[in-house]
Amino acid sequence: MSATIIEQLFGVLPAACIRRNVFLRDYTSMRVGGPADIFIEPETDEQVELVCHFARVHSIPLLLLGNGSNTLVSDDGFRGIVLHIGSRMSAISCDGCVITAQAGALLSTVARIAAEHGMTGFECLAGIPGSTGGAVCMNAGAYGGEMKDVIVSARVLADGVIKTLALPELELSYRHSAVMEHGWTVLSARFQLKKGDPAQIRAAMADYAARRREKQPLQYPSCGSFFKRPSGYFAGALIQDSHLKGYSIGGAQVSELHAGFIINKGGATAQDIYRLMRHVQNTVLADSGVELQPEVRLIGRFDP
């Protein structure tokens, strides 16, 4: 990226929104990842549109980052622009049983507001540590529910045009969406919930949170379940059957509590995590004949 192009970008965005050489380990739940050349935290849809347009016109690689809880960034970082849609675009509003959340709103906050307003349907999603935009992109889900069950529409920037897409057009399926497929940008999403009993809603959320605390190594940095669920199997069970629980490379470890999680036990590099991922994939393939695919999005360059 030439200095002139960078200067142009600095010229059109408020100074508070744009920085250079920002380490992505500070913005990802694995706590690894080198610097992004340019790191932008937009405040408005117009700024998102401007940055996406700028990147397209100048052929600059663009990475959308929400809460970074499903993204593994390489130690080299990202050569291009990271567009971090976070707390500056996180407004939430309620109208009857419909909640509208900007892309940067955390699912935990949406769930809290739903509970406060006596709305049911979001409880099982409350513990997913993602942003609304990231969760739409991933069709995040837990405990038998997924984004697909509660979304009615999303405002997206699709190929340079802001559109409201209805649920079918979002093509949400297991950890997949049209947003992911086409590299679109989610600006906000609308959720349809139902009237419920506030005490029951709070109790259900507490129950899901307790199950997570019991079964997941939440005290360590991770991306949650590292691999997608292979058809007919559970990734964690396959990894456990390959006797990989507790297996470590550098600071990266297959969690002893939940074999589906790769954790940063302390001081892991992104390359440690990548090598451990490959080791798990190769071992499970050799033992069970099943190919594990990462659910986590891998960004940047990793050594084979």
Ligand X SMILES: Cc1cc2nc3c(=O)[nH]c(=O)nc-3n(C[C@H](O)[C@H](O)[C@H](O)COP(=O)(O)OP(=O)(O)OC[C@H]3O[C@@H](n4cnc5c(N)ncnc54)[C@H](O)[C@@H]3O)c2cc1C
> Could you list the residues that contact ligand X (CB under 6 A)?
29, 64-71, 85, 103, 128-131, 133-135, 137-138, 140-142, 179, 185-186, 216, 218, 222-224, 297
Q: Which of 153, 188, 225, 242 is catalytic?
A: 225
Closer to ligand X at the Cβ: 8 or 93? 93
Q: Which is nearer to ligand X, 147 or 201 (CB)?
A: 147
Q: Which is nearer to ligand X, 159 or 197 (CB)?
A: 159
Q: Cβ(111)–Cβ(205) under 8 Å?
A: yes
Residue 232: CB minimum distance to ligand X, A: 19
Residue by residue, DSSP assigns 81-103 as EEEE--GGG--EEEETTEEEEET
Please give the structure tokens belonging to residue 287: 């033992």
Residue 149 CB, shortest distance to ligand X, in Å, is 13
H/E element, 137: helix 132-138
Residue in 152, 141, 139, 144 with CA at minimum distance from that of residue 178: 139
Q: Could you tell me the smallest distance in angstroms from the CB atom of residue 289 to ligand X?
A: 26
Q: Is 175 a catalytic residue?
A: yes
Exposed/middle/buried for residue 40 (C-beta within 10 Å: 0-12, 13-18, 19+): buried
- Catalytic hit among 41, 123, 146, 295: 295
Whether residue 217 contacts residue 257, with contact meaning beta carbons closer than 8 Å, is answered with yes
Catalytic residue from among 25, 175, 190, 212? 175
The nearer residue to ligand X, 225 or 271, going by C-beta atoms, is 225
Work out how close the CB of 260 gets to ligand X at its nearest, in angstroms, rounded to a whole number: 10
Active site residue 229: no
CB of 95 to ligand X, least distance (A): 22
β-bridge pairing 92-95 and 98-102: antiparallel
CA separation for the pair 282, 276 (Å, rounded): 10
Residue 265 to residue 110: CA distance in whole angstroms:
30
Reply yes or no on whether 202 is catalytic: no
Q: Closer CB to ligand X, residue 138 or residue 270? A: 138
Catalytic residue IDs: 175, 225, 295
